[in-house]
Structure 1
Amino acid sequence: MHDTPKWQRPIELPPETMAADPAEQPPHQPAREIPLDKTQAVEDDTFLEPPPSPPQRNKHGRRWLMPLLGTLLSLAFGAELYRLISWSTSIHPLLGGAFSLLTLLLLLAIGVEIRRGFKGSRQLRQVQKLQQQANSLLQQASHGDSAALLHQLEQRYRSTALEHELQGAIAQLDSSYNDREIIQYLNRHALNQADQTARRCVQRYSVESGVLVALSPWASFDMLLVAWRNLRMIREIAAVYGVAPGLLTQGKLLKQILQNLAFAGASEVAMDAGSALLGSSLTAGLSARAGQGIGAGLFTARTGLTAIKLCRPLPEQGQPKSMLQQIVKGIVHRLTSRKA
């Protein structure tokens, strides 16, 4: 049997004895530099575990969210219409018939707009594919690869405003052209009239937006005004290039335009605005309100030029550099003539 150790009273040490004697500490040695030829590489055997991947979101739930929400809103809207028609019919049959006719016309208008919007969205996807094929052909000097693109252009723009000019340009193609030269020729001749019409539309809406903002005394009204003019301009540009102008098409185009303007960066927009302002000698002596109008006009111009870039079936080779200066001069001319 083992003996148990006896309990001993703890020994208390005074704080003075805890301090280290400076004489017992090793002397300080300065740092010394080690030459590179005497160093050795040491392999790191430590294994770092990768950070845990973030949990993936449930995409299937988000996919079904919008259809379910749309179905719920449609049922609620239909129930309210049925209650309204029943209430009006109980008052007088003619009143119920009038409400029923208005409801039918409203549903027909909504159906036509939805159909046009889906058609425009499908056409925008086709335009993006055509632009990608044309960009790939511009990077090579092959022969014969552009035949499929020409056939798709003829099929896509049949019975549209671009059909006559496009077919005339395709008929005048020389057999000695390679694929890059064919795309460049179509860019100059097949879309020349449509580009001029779209740029005149951009210039008109930009000048009008700038003048109206400069003359408007309400800031909130300016935002609504610019948004209204930009939506109308996008609708007209889409119609010029054979894209069905619907509300869904306008929303999709506006989203892509804002993304392109955001990726272009504020520096490019500022450079365009600065060059336009410096290039016009008529801006001296104008008020700050006129400067806001010029800024709104330039924003509308940038929006319109981006819409042209997105709606063209072929990639745009270059835009007229003097267009922004012409827009600024048009705004200043309108303001100075009104002031005079």
Structure 2
Amino acid sequence: MSKAPRAIRLDPATPDAADESFARGAGVTILPESEPADAVEPAALPVARRRFSWGSLFVAGLSGFLTLSIGVWAERMIVSLMNDNPVLGYAALACAALAGLALLVMLGRVLRDILRERKVEALRQRATMALAGGSAGEAKAISAELKGLYASRPETAKGRAALDDALPQLFAARDVLAVAERSLMTPLDLLAQAQIAQAARRVSLVTAVSPRALIDVVFVLVACARLLRAIAGIYAGRPGALGLLRLARQVLGHLVVTGGIAAGDAVIQQVVGQGLAARLSAKLGEGVLNGLLTARIGLAALAVCRPLPFIEALPPTLSDVAGDLTSWRGNAADA
């Protein structure tokens, strides 16, 4: 049963008690709104200071002691040879000078590699910030530095020319960086993916036929080191020994952040969960798994060494660089 309509008189001259109490401010308290947790800026968070390390002090002290010891030993050896036979003394002095010159060149190359890697990291961070809200001028400056980084690379000559033609017509940061990625990064990405696929196939084949587990371990380590050096050479120059160690540490950190060294649940289920090792042989299953792990390390190295984040291009996956390894399952089922 519906209620009959009725009229309600609105008289502004006689406000109700609630309006009067609100006008007097009685019992009314204004509380500041609390910001959500997501609104906290990352820059406002306290920065953890690096604490004093006794291990670093020990390494520095030991390195200085060994350097002084070698210098004193070389000086005494040269003086002794000079007193006994001046010809041998001058020969030892010349050898020491050559060794010192070679050491300085090696240290210079290591410093150059480290500076180049830091430049690539800085470019990637600046590009990420420009994509988040930068101007077109910042993006064009990043593109100019990127073009200068690959000025001596013949495979990027066509892309550099296309980038020069397109930059005056672009007025958005994302468009500038997208064209730079398409012009300069695409050929380098193809080279890096080819290196990863080749290393994964090589590791899979060798570890599948090798008779000893020690040979598998040594070969996988050597192949991964060569793969890291090859990918670094494609994007930022071929690193030396110290640069390779630094790159390996960065790749390991990237693997930890992105989910560990596992190849992924889907691929592991295709290789191990569906009985590939049982259908063919245990060694073949180990070879496929080692190849997938090598490909995973290569993809992490690609993400670390690439000077631009992925903008329009899709990041390569395991199926892109090691899809032929997982296709062995289908061949085994057909057999």
Same fold? TM cut 0.5:
yes
Describe how 1:240-279 pairs up with structure 2 within 5 A. Answer: 240-266=234-260, 269-271=263-265, 273-274=267-268, 277=271
Pair 1:213 & 2:210 matched: no
Describe how 1:193-212 pairs up with structure 2 within 5 A. Answer: 193-212=187-206
Write the distance in 2 (CA, Å) between the matches of 1:196 and 1:170: 19
Aligned residue for 1:319, secondary structure, equals coil
Write the distance in 2 (CA, Å) between the matches of 1:216 and 1:84: 49
Corresponding residue for residue 192 of structure 1:
186
Write the distance in 1 (CA, Å) between the matches of 2:271 and 2:127: 35
Pair 1:318 & 2:318 matched: no
Letter in 1 for 2:315: Q
Please identify, of 283-292 and 254-263, the stretch whose mean Cα deviation from structure 2 is larger: 283-292
Q: Residue 200 of structure 2 contacts residue 322 of structure 2 at CA under 8 Å; is this kept in 1?
A: no
Per-residue CA distance 1:181-232 (angstroms, 9 max, x = gap): 2212222221121111111111111211222222222222322211111111
Q: TM (normalized to structure 1)?
A: 0.67
Corresponding residue for residue 35 of structure 1:
none
Per-residue CA distance 1:93-134 (angstroms, 9 max, x = gap): 988888777665555444333222221111111111111111
Sort the Cα spacing of 1:84 and 1:209 in 2 relative to 1 into closer, same or farther, 3 A. farther
Write the distance in 1 (CA, Å) between the matches of 2:283 and 2:80: 52
Q: 1:291 aligns with which of 279, 282, 285?
A: 285
Sort the Cα spacing of 1:234 and 1:102 in 2 relative to 1 into closer, same or farther, 3 A. farther
Corresponding residue for residue 117 of structure 1:
110
Corresponding residue for residue 235 of structure 1:
229
Q: Residue 89 of structure 1 contacts residue 95 of structure 1 at CA under 8 Å; is this kept in 2?
A: yes
Letter in 1 for 2:320: M
Structure having the higher helix fraction is 2
Q: 1:305 aligns with which of 299, 306, 309?
A: 299
Please identify, of 71-80 and 252-261, the stretch whose mean Cα deviation from structure 2 is larger: 71-80
Write the distance in 2 (CA, Å) between the matches of 1:295 and 1:240: 26
Q: TM (normalized to structure 2)?
A: 0.68
Write the distance in 2 (CA, Å) between the matches of 1:57 and 1:139: 29
Describe how 1:74-93 pairs up with structure 2 within 5 A. Answer: 74-79=67-72
Pair 1:59 & 2:52 matched: yes
Write the distance in 2 (CA, Å) between the matches of 1:119 and 1:198: 22
Aligned residue for 1:173, secondary structure, equals helix
Aligned residue for 2:263, secondary structure, equals helix
Write the distance in 2 (CA, Å) between the matches of 1:73 and 1:234: 31
Q: Residue 131 of structure 1 contacts residue 315 of structure 1 at CA under 8 Å; is this kept in 2?
A: yes
Identity of aligned residues (%): 27
Sort the Cα spacing of 1:325 and 1:201 in 2 relative to 1 into closer, same or farther, 3 A. closer
Per the TM alignment, residue 253 of structure 1 is displaced from its structure 2 partner at its CA by: 0.4
Aligned residue for 1:303, secondary structure, equals helix
Letter in 1 for 2:191: T
Per-residue CA distance 1:278-330 (angstroms, 9 max, x = gap): 89998773211111111211111111111111111111342334324435169
Corresponding residue for residue 141 of structure 2:
148
Write the distance in 1 (CA, Å) between the matches of 2:171 and 2:274: 42
Q: Residue 231 of structure 2 contacts residue 302 of structure 2 at CA under 8 Å; is this kept in 1?
A: yes
Letter in 2 for 1:111: L
Write the distance in 2 (CA, Å) between the matches of 1:139 and 1:112: 41
Structure 1 vs Structure 2 CA RMSD: 3.8
- 5+ residue gaps in structure 1? 1-55
